[in-house]
Amino acid sequence: MHHPMRHPVRRRAAALAALLLAATACTAEQPHPTTALGTRKPTGTPTPSVTPKSGPAGGGARARGFTLAASGDVLPHDSIIRQAAADADGDGYDFRKMFAAARPVISKADLALCHMETVYGEKGDYSGYPAFKSPPQVARALADTGYDGCSTASNHTLDDGADGIERTLDAMDEAGLKHAGSARTAKEARTPVMLRAGGAKVAHIAATYGTNGYPLPAGRPWAVDLLDTDKVIAKARAARRAGADVVVLSPHWGTEWQDAPDARQLRLARELTASRTAGRPDIDLVIGTHAHVPQAYEKVNGTWVVYGLGDQLAGEMVNHEGERDPRGNQSTIGRFTFVPPKKAGGRWQVARAEFVPQYFDPDTARGADLDEHEETRDRIRRVALSRGAGKQGLREAE
C-alpha cells in the first residue's frame, strides 16, 4: 500500500496502474516459523592472491588482488517482514537469519555488494507489495552478514518518494554500508562511490530502467540514476578520474520471469562493455538485477556480465500468470577474483569467475541447503552457463 498521507496528489491513478502492472510478481504468502538466532561468522582468511581491505591502493607494484562477491535482489514482502518481527522476539525486526546461508561466501570476500531493491519506512509503517517500505533493520543485517555496499536504483526506489530515499540512505549510513544509484542531494549524486578492496579502489555505480511510473521528485532529477548508456559511461569515466582502479556497474534491467536476457540487456551489455578511454574499458564488471529469476553469465567484449542474479531474499513469488513460481526464490552469488595490472594504469583483470547457487525457502524463510535440492541447483547451473560462460572460464564454486 502507499503511505496514506505522504503523496495524495503526485501519485495519480495512471502511475499506480503502471506500478501494479510492473510489480505483479512481487507478492508473498503467510508468515513462517522461527529458528534459533545465528551469529555472524568472522571474516575468513583471504586467498593467497588477495589482501585485506586495508591494503595499499592503486595499480602499482605493491598492489595485490581481491575477491568481489555480488548477490541479487533484497525484496522483503509482508511475510518476510512478519518473520523478521518473530525472529526479533518482540524487539523490532531481525533479518540476520535470513541471510545466514550467504554469510560464508559474503563474509570471506574482500568486497561484497548487494542490491537493496526497496526503500525503508519508519515507526512501524512497513509494507510489501505493491509499494514497498521495509524496516530499516535490513541494513544492519546486511552489514552483519558482511556486505560493504549495495545498489539502490530500482523500479521501487520511488515507492515512497524522496522521503523513502532519505530514510533508506540514512539507515545504510548508520549501518556502515555504502550505496549507489540513489541520492539525497545533487552533490551526493555526482560524487563517485568508492570502496577499498585489497590493493584497489573500486567504484560502484548503479542505474534502473525505470521507477514504475513514478516521476522523479520535483527539483531532484538526480534522485535516482536511470539506465542510459551515455549517462552510465559518463559516471564510469568520472569515477576513473577520481582514482578508481575497478569500476563495477549494477544495472536494474531485463524482463521479469524471463530466464534469457532480453534484447535491451544484450544491446546495453555490448555498448557499455565496448566503451573505452585510452584503450582501457570504462566498466570492468556488470552485475544485473530485476528479473526475479537467475539469468546467464557471459563475457562480453572481454568484460564479465551477469545479466541477472535473481532474488536473494523474497517471499513466495507469483509470476505474471498468477502461478506460484519457485524460480523467484532462486539466485546466484557471483564471485570474481581481480588481479592488478602488470603496468601502472593498466586494466585489473578477472583471473577467476565463479557462481554460487542459492535458494531461499519461503516456507522456512531461510536459505536452503542445495545439497537437499539437487534439481534446483541443476536448474540454476544450466541457466548461469546457458550462454557459453563455461567455455569462457566461469565455474561453479565448490
Instruction: Map grid coordinates 551526493 to a residue.
Output: 188
pLDDT at 285: 99
- In terms of phi and psi (left: phi > 0; alpha: psi -120 to 50; beta: otherwise), the region of 305 is beta
Q: Which three cell numbers stand for residue 251?
A: 544495472
Distance, CA of 102 to chain centre:
13
Q: What does pTM read for this prediction?
A: 0.87
pLDDT at 62: 56
Write out pLDDT tens, residues 148-173: 999 999 999 999 999 999 999 999 99
pLDDT at 210: 98
CA distance 152 to 252: 9
Fill in the DSSP letter of residue 34. -
DSSP string, 217-265: PTT-TTSB-B--HHHHHHHHHHHHHTT-SEEEEEEE-S-TT-SS--HHH
pLDDT at 54: 40
Residues (pLDDT < 50) of the chain are 1-25, 27-61
CATH topology (fold) of 54-396: Purple Acid Phosphatase; chain A, domain 2 (3.60.21)
Write out pLDDT tens, residues 313-366: 999 999 999 999 999 999 999 999 999 999 988 999 999 999 999 999 999 999
pLDDT at 344: 86
CA angle at residue 173 from 168 to 175, to 5 degrees?
Answer: 95
The three-state secondary structure class of 152 is coil
- Environment class of 262 (CB within 10 Å of its CB; exposed 0-12, middle 13-18, buried 19+): middle
CA distance 312 to 331: 6
- In terms of phi and psi (left: phi > 0; alpha: psi -120 to 50; beta: otherwise), the region of 196 is beta
